[in-house]
Structure 1
């Protein structure tokens, strides 16, 4: 193993060919084109075509849709939290009627409300006093 390593290190480096020289066929167009030799109309046409091709090549419709849905979901959660649960320190907000309706409806499902209902349900009847 050591003699092979020494022999390979002693060999001269192989000349590397660039990509254009390695290609057997001649290129039809020079890339990138020389913008100085183009007229302004040709430059505009080239830029439009290049932008269109780049846009088509980089299109990711599934990812874009997923990102839009994630943004929509995040914004809905933030606005919902602000409207229903955020403490505004007594400052009147346009969310106050919504918050009152929300807690009025879902307040019946809290533990404190159920405890009060159970106490009232199991409370012995109080004798009526006849004055």
Structure 2
């Protein structure tokens, strides 16, 4: 019996190691796919920053520190910086002017016209 239990433990350990390797490989593959999706998201006209940031975090948690992760982080930072600069501007790049009159305001009363001056004669 002692011989059988001595042989079972190494076999179980080998199987556990193989399963862990498979899980790590699967995790790494999913994390690389998440980084690719984050880069695609950031290349869109109106990217979802939260989604891209979450995908970058997935890759970091999986232990991937490749050029793609650094690229995605840089793209996210640049997008946020650009977004902060353009907030509140019109499509032409000019700030909006406040409206001339508010609907609650009463129209201003007209001033009476000044009486015309009489011409003076110089002799």
Q: Pick the TM interval, shorter chain.
A: 0.3 to 0.5
TM-score of the aligned structures, taking structure 1 as reference length:
0.31
TM-score of the aligned structures, taking structure 2 as reference length:
0.33
Higher relative contact order, structure no. (Cα contacts within 8 Å, ≥ 6 residues apart): 2
